[in-house]
Amino acid sequence: MTARIGVLALQGGVSEHLEALSRVGAETLPVRTPADLSGLDGIVLPGGESSVLDKLMRLFEVRDPLITLLRAGLPAYGTCAGLILLADTVLDAAPGQQSLGGLPVTVRRNAFGSQAHSFDTTLEFGGIDHPVAATFIRAPLIVAVSTETAVLASLDDESIVAARHGNLLGTSFHPELTGDDSVHRYFLEMVLAAKNG
């Protein structure tokens, strides 16, 4: 059995996620309208610019139906800006910027400084049996998590870069730019587990 996983396609790095999800065996769909949300088993919120994504989700009337689906348990994976969209609390948000929320973590936008602080590394990732390739681009950091949130990856003891709570997964980094599909495979497993109850 496979799963139908959408990628929010209003701005940011969409095609790399669609390709990685296809490679691990998901059925994929770019999501631009409220109608595109129907029948999804999961959704990826890509990197890009979280304050722009927030505005575009309102403009395209995707924000409210997406919040309803997330609160009802739709599995979601946010990378970088997408993690910011899922976080309950956002530090250094742009004026007026709001997240969708649901993932009980606090993130700090642009926590590594400017574009010059973009870098590649590999990370131990809970639930994946090899170090995962990770690209960081003007990335947020997870600076606090609720007690029931699982920390899946960190750069050091204080720098959390991947977390999961229930059906919601977020990473500060972009696995879709590395050729390492293991985090997408991990998310597909989450989606299939939720779908099969």
> What residues act catalytically?
80, 174, 176
Tell me whether residue 3 or residue 83 sits nearer to ligand GLN (CB atom).
83
Question: Considering the rule CB under 6 A, would residue 142 count as an interface residue with ligand GLN?
Answer: no
CB of 55 to ligand GLN, least distance (A): 12
Locate 57 and state its tokens: 């989700």
Structure tokens belonging to residue 196: 């099969």
Which one of residues 17, 31, 41, 47 is an interface residue with ligand GLN (CB under 6 A)? Answer: 47
137 is in an annotated binding site: yes
> Which DSSP symbol is given to 113?
-
Distance CA(136)–CA(92), nearest Å, equals 18
Query: Site for ligand GLN (CB under 6 A): which residue of 110, 127, 155, 194?
Result: 110
The answer to whether residue 137 forms part of the interface with ligand GLN (CB under 6 A) is yes
> For ligand GLN, which residue of 80, 87, 141, 168 counts as binding (CB under 6 A)?
80
Q: What are phi and psi of 85, to 5 degrees?
A: -65, -35
Closest alpha carbon to 41 in 166, 184, 163, 188: 188
42 is known to lie in a ligand binding site: no
Secondary structure E strands in the chain? 4-8, 27-31, 42-45, 76-79, 87-91, 103-108, 119-123, 132-136, 141-145, 150-154, 160-165, 168-171
Min dist CB 188 to ligand GLN, Å, is 21
Closer residue to ligand GLN, CB minimum distance, 25 or 179: 179
Residues near ligand GLN (CB under 6 A): 47-50, 80-81, 84, 109-110, 137-138
